[in-house]
Homo-oligomer: A and B are copies of this chain.
Amino acid sequence: MPQINDIRMRGFRDRSSVDEALEAALDGISLLPSEPVPVTGAAGRVLARDVVSTVDVPAFRRSMMDGYAVRAEDTYGATPYNPIPLEVVGTSMPGTVPDDRVTRGHCVTIVTGAPMPDGADAVLMVENTIGSGDRIEATAPVPIGRNVGRVGEDVTVGESILNSGRILLPQDVGILSAIGHDPIKVVRRPIVRIIVSGDELLPPGTSPMGTKIVDSNSPMLAALVDRDGGTPEVVRLRDEEGAMEEALGRPDVDVIVTAGAASVGSEDRVPILVDRLGVLAVHGITMRPSAPTGIGTIGGVRVVILPGNPVSCLAAYDFFAGPVVRSLGGRSPHWPDVSVKRTLERRIVSQIGRTDYARVVVDGDLVDPVAISGSSVLSSVTGASGFVVVPAALEGYPEGSVVTVHCYYGDCDS
């Protein structure tokens, strides 16, 4: 137990605005290098290079229908009352090279996706024929080119397929696979060390006991980092300066976020340590919750010091750490959540000069602030649909205002 005399109570240095703090968080942040991944594992990753096709897709003329590959002119004038006979001289199947040539009065059975035989310039749908075997009759004409997919119909050589920065969709990995583009160069995932500290913390998976509480910040932060395309690495420490110094000083990660020990109390060693080991650019932000947030850099690694109270921790992550993780990984620094406009049923009160993170519940076209707003009350964010940001220039929003709600899930519904 430390002695009373050890306790130094300090005040925050000049507080920064939310905008200043975000600027400091993103200052000098640049895209991580690329890494190769197989096309089958590329969905959701961020493309690091523009992709230009080196092949035509398809590389051959193909049938778009099941039917008969014909010379179109052989079918001109065909009707059910004037069927035109055609001799079936072969079959074209997908993946094969047809060895039959279609000459006057001849045709080749063909299925969807199969290559067109030489000499044929159209596919007569099976519905427009009668008979089978080695002799059929056309009952309708087919124009040149009908039901034939041309070379390069989907993709042509030299065509730009997808641009760097694209977050790869399911159909994108489909097209990359089709053009034989493998491996895919994607932006490396940022590795994010999550340091939580406190003698009162028990690890997740245990039960709270006496004055010991179970760490809720590290699983929450790991899920947030994962959402933002980063790879979390959790370090849980006792309140011990040497261990914290070691965890802060190891530069083998891309970002460090700490939770707890962030304020100006005696046990709040993190800002002091960051200041000593590197540069503490920001400490204290004109925001509620999350005022004790800090931003610094140690050995080239951005450090975001988050408050230990879970709601403050969540808000400060979303305001300052999330944009860093996403920017390093090539994603937009902006909030990834969907936002919706809703009408306030009750006013939100705030203070001029302070940005507020107000949790709200959406109900149809209306939105209500959550009554309990303590920064330690995690149930206020599990019960909320999302949050409204009250800018520092406003005293809040009166009842009936239309506000932007950033949704914790979906579009704030369900």
Contact = CB atoms under 8 A, between A and B. Distances in A.
Interface centre among A4, A172, A239 (most CB of B within 10 A): A4
B93 A376 contact: no
Contacts of A200: 94-96, 113-114
Interface stretch (A26-34, A54-62, A241-249, A347-355): A54-62
A310 B332 CA distance: 29
Nearest to A378: B175
A167 interface: yes
Contacts of A114: 200, 211
A161 B382 contact: yes
B310 A174 contact: yes
A389 interface: no
Interface in A198-218: 198-201, 204-218
B378 A266 contact: no
Contacts of A223: 43-44, 169-170, 173
A170 B7 contact: no
B204 A378 contact: no
Interface in A105-163: 109, 111-115, 126-127, 132-134, 149, 153-155, 159, 161-162
A198 B155 contact: no
Nearest to A292: B112
Contacts of A300: none
Nearest to A57: B208
A214 to B, nearest CB: 5
Contacts of A378: 57, 154-155, 171, 174-175, 178
Given A1-B93, A154-B377, A174-B217, 17 more contacts: A40-B205, A43-B227, A94-B199, A94-B239, A95-B200, A95-B213, A112-B263, A113-B308, A171-B381, A174-B216, A174-B219, A174-B314, A174-B378, A174-B382, A177-B219, A178-B310, A338-B411
24 contacts: A1-B96, A4-B88, A7-B109, A9-B132, A38-B205, A40-B204, A40-B205, A43-B227, A44-B223, A64-B374, A66-B263, A94-B267, A97-B210, A112-B308, A154-B379, A161-B382, A170-B223, A171-B314, A171-B382, A174-B216, A175-B378, A177-B215, A182-B205, A338-B338
